[in-house]
Amino acid sequence: MIRFAFYGRVSTEDQQDPEASRNWQLTRAHALVEPHGEIVAEFFDIGLSRSIPWKRRPQANLLLATLRQPDRAFDAVVIGEPHRAFYGNQFSLTFPVFEHYGVGLWVPEVGGPIDPTSEAHDLIMSVFGGMSKGERNRIKIRVRTAMEAQAKVEGRYLGGRPPYGYRLADAGPHPNPAKAADGRRLHRLEPDPDSAPVVKRIFTEYLAGRGMFAIAEGLTADGIPCPSAHDPARNRHRDGIAWSKGAIRVILTNPRYTGRQVWNKQRKDEVLIDVDDVGQGHQTKLRWNDTTAWVWSTDIAHPAIIDSTLFQQVQARLATRRLTPPDERSPRRTPRRYLLRGLLYCGLCGRKMQGNWIRDTPQYRCRFPYEYALANKIHHPGNVYLRETALVGPLDDWLYTRFAPHHVSETIQVIARAQPDQTAEDSRQAAARREITECDQKLARYRAALEAGADPAMVATWTAEIQARRAAAHTLLASDPPRSHRHLTEKEIEALIARFDDLRQALRDADPDDKAAVYTALGVRMTYQPAQRKVLIESQPDQHLVGVRNVSEGRLEPLPHHRSPSPVNSFSQVTQYDRGRIPVSPTRRPRVPTTGGVSCHVGRSLWFRHP
């Protein structure tokens, strides 16, 4: 009897039921292998696009790692649906791994195991990969074309966060009968009585000659909440402490305040992670389209807050204030590299510190007062600077030490203790799903009441209330997605830590670009406290990132830029540097705030002081 491992994938939870998709894929797999053996292990990825390579899918990557283990619990792998497993050339990049470790790959389309010597089998699987890629492209084209027509011809609100100054209002049942039967309804924009007058004030004051910072200062002084404070439920990632010049600029350049629907202001580009290793696949980057590519509704789609004439006058003033158009700026001859880009935060305001080149030296700065109004009495220096060279050395020393051979056992124990308990998270998810189920049941009863002759206006009021509750539950699920996390044993963690040997060497000898990839893979986060001149260093490595690549010929192969939502552990260290020496305090262990997951101290507490 052959022991099989099953692999499957479902792309999204919104349009497909993961359990139903798993069941029918598993049924196909069982029908194929029943005469030959049984399925003893399962690997199933949820919520991932088929275009993501196997090494960047958590369960598929775990399956590939299990192939390397001589004591694995299965002898072959069965796939229920190759369209969902392979995309493009993924089969040609993955199957050699199965062949190398002597693990058979079974698919229903060939009636059994794939023969590595058969050109027909190879051709069939290549065709399925091409069909999978073509299907995804056709869906993308159809969806984008339909959305363009809906925005231009119908002026339909296509979702997303309503711009500041507007709120969502019910626009009637969904035109799709099936969706309407499920209680789905359209929405439209209507002026928010609290924030719409603020938008008018911003346009009027700017056209009268006031600058963006002066407008932000005046709004903050008058106690008017900024956009993130006005709607904190949708802006949990922002503190909402004051109006910023950026917020003023976004409002002044948004054409939707004229009453027309505007779509396609941004696009998603798929960019190769590494041009020298296309097998790593692409990463999606959001980029702005040129204004000529924007799609405007033919007619007025929602009530206007400002008229078109005022909007055009503001755009003309904005254009005259640009001394050098962005497309005429000369590019730098030599690109400037920042090892800690996106990893260093200001301890006063919590914002990421920006890279800045001063006297041929990379530095990081925070210019909070330059962007945010100070009428809220936030105490922040005009500029906070920190040199990169003051951080990289002690950071490398700490990371190198934590994964040194004589500290491995201690680090393994810390990681095992630090694995997150998901009981509270699962409880929140279950409550949100129960709320959605209850709302769906009520919507079905309201629909039955409407068909039985109930007052349409009253039913519409009930439906709007339930739709709001249902949307709030969906927002909770989207902001706090379910995390499939399995607690690792100390033996599994030991195997994971063993892969850090190459990374330790890379910290010493790697190219700066590769070293930056190591910092990202290890989940390094640093918070600079300028008053104490101290830096809090935290690391949150991930089991799906660490050890996927290794060092060859003295350089680090690029690590994937995909972050899994389930961290293995997190641990933090506060380090102090003083006159070239790192003093160790054997007794004092300060309380360190966490930034997600579970934080704990590893070894002795080291303080890093910026000289």
- Average pLDDT of 126-154? 90
Confidence of residue 585 (pLDDT cuts 50, 70, 90): very low
- Average pLDDT of 377-388? 76
- The answer on 551 and 459 residing in a single domain is no
Q: How much is the pLDDT for 480?
A: 53
- Average pLDDT of 573-594? 33
- The answer on 228 and 200 residing in a single domain is yes
- The answer on 510 and 452 residing in a single domain is no
Which residue did the predictor score with more confidence, 273 or 254? Answer: 254
Of all residues in the chain, the percent with pLDDT exceeding 90 is 24
Domain total of the chain: 4
Task: Residue 190: give its domain's CATH number.
Answer: 3.90.1750.20
| pLDDT tens digit sequence for 57-68 | 989 999 999 999
CB atoms within 10 A of CB 181: 13
Comparing 81-90, 138-147, 431-440, 483-492, which segment has the lowest mean pLDDT? 483-492
112, containing H or E segment: strand 112-113
- The answer on 428 and 415 residing in a single domain is no
Q: How much is the pLDDT for 476?
A: 64
Does 611 reside within a domain? no
Tokens of residue 155, six digits: 């002026």
- Average pLDDT of 244-267? 91
Comparing 16-30, 407-421, 483-497, which segment has the lowest mean pLDDT? 483-497
- The answer on 247 and 301 residing in a single domain is yes
Does 343 reside within a domain? no
How far is the C-alpha of 502 from the C-alpha of 25, rounded, in Å?
Answer: 38
Residue 385: closest CA among 349, 358, 423: 358
Q: Is the pLDDT of residue 594 over 50?
A: no
- The answer on 316 and 198 residing in a single domain is yes
- Average pLDDT of 124-146? 89
**DSSP labels for 406-418?**
GGHHHHHHHHHHH
How far is the C-alpha of 75 from the C-alpha of 365, rounded, in Å?
Answer: 55
How far is the C-alpha of 404 from the C-alpha of 202, rounded, in Å?
Answer: 57
Confidence of residue 432 (pLDDT cuts 50, 70, 90): confident
Tokens of residue 492, six digits: 């599994």
How far is the C-alpha of 498 from the C-alpha of 429, rounded, in Å?
Answer: 35
| Residues whose CB is less than 8 angstroms from the CB of residue 483 and which lie 6 or more positions away in sequence, other chains included | 422, 425, 565, 566
Q: How much is the pLDDT for 544?
A: 43
| pLDDT tens digit sequence for 396-428 | 777 777 666 666 666 666 656 655 555 555 666
How far is the C-alpha of 195 from the C-alpha of 184, rounded, in Å?
Answer: 27
Does 349 reside within a domain? no
Tokens of residue 505, six digits: 């060497």
Does 225 reside within a domain? yes
Which residue did the predictor score with more confidence, 74 or 180? Answer: 74
146, containing H or E segment: helix 119-149
- The answer on 568 and 429 residing in a single domain is no
Cα four-point dihedral sign 124, 129, 131, 132 = positive
| Residues whose CB is less than 8 angstroms from the CB of residue 171 and which lie 6 or more positions away in sequence, other chains included | 157, 185, 186, 187, 188
What does residue 313 show for φ and ψ, rounded to 5 degrees?
A: -65, -40
Residue 95: closest CA among 87, 105, 85: 105
Structural domain boundaries, residue 310: 166-261+297-324
Tokens of residue 253, six digits: 């350049």
For residue 537, give the 3-state DSSP assignment.
Answer: strand
Q: How much is the pLDDT for 590?
A: 32
Residue ending a domain, among 458, 479, 500, is 479
Q: How much is the pLDDT for 13?
A: 55
CA 520 to chain centre: 14
Of 180-189, 194-203, 348-357, 549-558, highest mean pLDDT: 194-203
Identity (one letter) of the amino acid at 91?
Answer: F
Q: Is the pLDDT of residue 558 over 60?
A: no
Q: Do β-strands 534-539 and 551-552 pair in parallel, antiparallel, or remain unpaired?
A: unpaired
| Residues whose CB is less than 8 angstroms from the CB of residue 158 and which lie 6 or more positions away in sequence, other chains included | 147, 150, 151, 261, 263
Tell which phi-psi region holds residue 522, choosing left (phi > 0), alpha (psi between -120 and 50) or beta: alpha
Tokens of residue 143, six digits: 């969806």
How far is the C-alpha of 342 from the C-alpha of 419, rounded, in Å?
Answer: 25
Confidence of residue 86 (pLDDT cuts 50, 70, 90): very high
Tokens of residue 313, six digits: 């006058």
- The answer on 187 and 59 residing in a single domain is no
Residue 56: closest CA among 560, 485, 503: 560
Question: How high is the mean pLDDT of the chain?
Answer: 76
Tokens of residue 308, six digits: 């078109």
Angle at 495 between CA 494 and CA 496, to 5 degrees: 90
Q: Is the pLDDT of residue 561 over 50?
A: no
Task: Residue 128: give its domain's CATH number.
Answer: 3.40.50.1390
Comparing 63-67, 118-122, 169-173, 584-588, which segment has the lowest mean pLDDT? 584-588
Q: How much is the pLDDT for 296?
A: 92
Q: Is the pLDDT of residue 340 over 90?
A: no
How far is the C-alpha of 417 from the C-alpha of 448, rounded, in Å?
Answer: 53
